Amino acid sequence: MHNDTIVALATPSGSGAIAIIRLSGKDAIAIASSVFKSVSGKTLQNQKTHTIHLGHIVDGNKTLDEILVSVFKNPNSYTGEDVIEVSCHGSLYIQQEIIQLFLRKGCRMAAAGEFTLRAFLNGKLDLSQAEAVADLISSDNEAAHQIAMQQMRGGFSSEIARLREELLNFASLIELELDFAEEDVEFADRTQFKELIERITFVLKRLIDSFAVGNVIKNGIPVAIVGEPNVGKSTLLNALLNEERAIVSEIAGTTRDTIEDEISIGGFGFRFIDTAGIRETKDVVESIGIKKTFEKIEQSQVTIYLFDASKTIDSLEEVRIEIEKIRNKYPQKPLLVIANKIDRLDDTQLAKINTTIADVLLLSAKTGFGVEQLTNSLLNLINTGALRNNETIVTNTRHYDALLKAFEEIQKVKHGLDTDLSGDLLAIDIRQALYHFGEITGEITNDDLLGNIFANFCIGK
């Protein structure tokens, strides 16, 4: 239990209908009690945990606000300590006055993430669950939300903790063998141990592989939209966005620099990067734009090549060659080819596009024709299987690194078992693997690590 009591605003700063101020620590209830006059005349200290009380907050003989106070007594609170939540009216002035009052009464201003840090230190949640709290707060699409929720409920760390437990068991048995080295006994059944290592390898591999999906879900899937000026890139983005956010302009070459827009499609965040085309040019600014286009394709997971079908109907061969250029340069990268402005074309012309350009999607950003097919194609490109099957997905780079290291160590253990490595050397590799497992769940931490993790939280969480 910490000695000091911390206070912070838990709701966003600014004015709103109500604001919530939180206190956590051993004096939380006493401090709140000293400035609270309940309507019923009861004192807060005598109230049961998980109860709410109406009253006034007073500073000397000045009444600051009419408030609701929620009481959570340790250990049954978010932090595991005594927690008070004051719901006051959301004026900036009131919020500040109440916080100042609590500070004068002996609270200390909470650091970023300090409530969750205390929850972690008091064993209310493990480290990966604590990290999921931050992910949950920042999740802005369905997929990111689902993963954060799952991680917060402990789905991922409980699996790791279980395996760690089993591994620890074997480590102890092997270390015990070392104590009886002269007698040449085997406490740890090698066949069972091999079976466990196989299981761990399988789980680790699945979790490591899931990071590719997890990462795109958390950060959005980058999509480069490539096309000459005026082919309708911004209009297409707007059609996808359903609101006029990107700049639409008649002047050729206005999208010289890149614009990024994140759009949620089917619950996934897609980051569209609007780039200049790749046509030959003598204009210096334009050729910088073209260099950028290639850079953006490289950074993206998917490329959309957009061309103006009405303008190029007599020069489709050139378009085809340009598409080939991109395909040849990035053979591994999914490329969606879109013929835009088809509202200006007749059936014969549409047929001509279909026969000249392979796998082309006919679209009109203006009328919206083909936009749904585009969003379906985009969704088909990402592997959403793991998410649909509710499998655990790793989104956190720190976890990913620890999993990779654990995997490496487990491979060493496996090799050791296969080659009848001596128990003392085997034990070293197992301990290393255990260490990396522990890094994920927080059995093994240090102040720097905790500092880094919780510094990224908001104050008040």
Question: Residue ranges for the binding site?
Answer: 22, 85, 124, 230-235, 249-255, 274-277, 461
With CB under 6 A as the contact rule, the residue among 182, 184, 243, 250 that binds ligand GDP is 250
The pair of three-digit structure tokens given for residue 217, joined into one six-digit string: 């879900």
Element counts in the chain: helices (H) and strands (E): 17, 13
Residues 354-413 binding ligand GDP (CB under 6 A) are 364-366
CA atoms 307, 308, 310, 314: torsion sign: negative
**Pairing mode of beta strands 6-9, 16-24:** antiparallel
Residue positions forming the annotated binding site for (6S)-5-formyl-5,6,7,8-tetrahydrofolate: 22, 85, 124, 461
Residue positions forming the annotated binding site for K(+): 230, 249, 251, 254
Of 52-60, 139-147, 247-255, 414-422, the segment contacting ligand GDP by CB under 6 A is 247-255
377-409 burial string, b = 16+ CB within 10 Å, else e? bbeeebebebbeeeebbbbbebbbebbebbbeb
What minimum distance in Å lies between the beta carbon of 334 and ligand GDP?
Answer: 21
What minimum distance in Å lies between the beta carbon of 248 and ligand GDP?
Answer: 4
Dihedrals phi, psi of 366, to nearest 5 degrees: -75, -45
Concatenated DSSP letters of 383-432: --HHHHTT------HHHHHHHHHHHHHHHHHHHHHHTT--HHHHHHHHHH
With CB under 6 A as the contact rule, the residue among 151, 210, 255, 396 that binds ligand GDP is 255
**Helix or strand holding residue 23 (H, E):** strand 16-24
Nearer to ligand GDP, 255 or 395 (CB): 255
What minimum distance in Å lies between the beta carbon of 343 and ligand GDP?
Answer: 5
Instruction: Could you list the beta-strand ranges (E) of 51-184.
Output: 51-59, 62-72, 83-90, 108-109
Of 124-132, 245-253, 407-415, 424-432, the segment contacting ligand GDP by CB under 6 A is 245-253
Nearer to ligand GDP, 275 or 441 (CB): 275
Nearer to ligand GDP, 187 or 369 (CB): 369
What minimum distance in Å lies between the beta carbon of 362 and ligand GDP?
Answer: 10
Residue positions forming the annotated binding site for GTP: 230-235, 249-255, 274-277
**Pairing mode of beta strands 221-226, 259-265:** unpaired
Nearer to ligand GDP, 92 or 252 (CB): 252
Taking the C-alpha atoms of residue 233 and residue 258, their distance in angstroms, rounded to an integer, is 11
How many other C-beta atoms are found inside a 10 Å radius of the C-beta of residue 215?
A: 17
Nearer to ligand GDP, 229 or 442 (CB): 229
Taking the C-alpha atoms of residue 88 and residue 58, their distance in angstroms, rounded to an integer, is 12
Taking the C-alpha atoms of residue 32 and residue 204, their distance in angstroms, rounded to an integer, is 47
Nearer to ligand GDP, 141 or 340 (CB): 340
> Angle at the Cα of 150 (from 145 to 155), degrees rounded to 5?
160
Q: How many residues lie near ligand GDP (CB under 6 A)?
A: 19
Taking the C-alpha atoms of residue 403 and residue 436, their distance in angstroms, rounded to an integer, is 7
What minimum distance in Å lies between the beta carbon of 310 and ligand GDP?
Answer: 7
Residues 29-58 binding ligand GDP (CB under 6 A) are none
Query: First and final CA of the chain: distance in angstroms?
Result: 18
Map residues 202-241 to x or -, x wherever contact with ligand GDP holds by CB under 6 A.
-------------------------x-xxxxxxx------
What's the Cα-to-Cα distance from 299 to each of 239, 258, 318, 333, 405, rounded to whole Å?
24, 13, 26, 10, 26
What minimum distance in Å lies between the beta carbon of 366 and ligand GDP?
Answer: 3
DSSP state of 382: S
What minimum distance in Å lies between the beta carbon of 218 and ligand GDP?
Answer: 28
Dihedrals phi, psi of 445, to nearest 5 degrees: -145, 170
Structural contact between residues 119 and 79, judged by C-beta atoms closer than 8 angstroms = yes
With CB under 6 A as the contact rule, the residue among 295, 343, 391, 443 that binds ligand GDP is 343
Does 341 engage in binding with ligand GDP (CB under 6 A)? yes
**Pairing mode of beta strands 51-59, 221-226:** unpaired
What minimum distance in Å lies between the beta carbon of 118 and ligand GDP?
Answer: 50
What minimum distance in Å lies between the beta carbon of 215 and ligand GDP?
Answer: 29
Nearer to ligand GDP, 305 or 437 (CB): 305
With CB under 6 A as the contact rule, the residue among 249, 315, 397, 452 that binds ligand GDP is 249
What minimum distance in Å lies between the beta carbon of 241 and ligand GDP?
Answer: 12
Residues 321-340 binding ligand GDP (CB under 6 A) are 340
Q: Which residue is nearest to ligand GDP (CB)?
A: 232
Nearer to ligand GDP, 367 or 383 (CB): 367
**Residues in contact with ligand GDP by the rule CB under 6 A:** 227, 229-235, 248-250, 255, 340-341, 343-344, 364-366
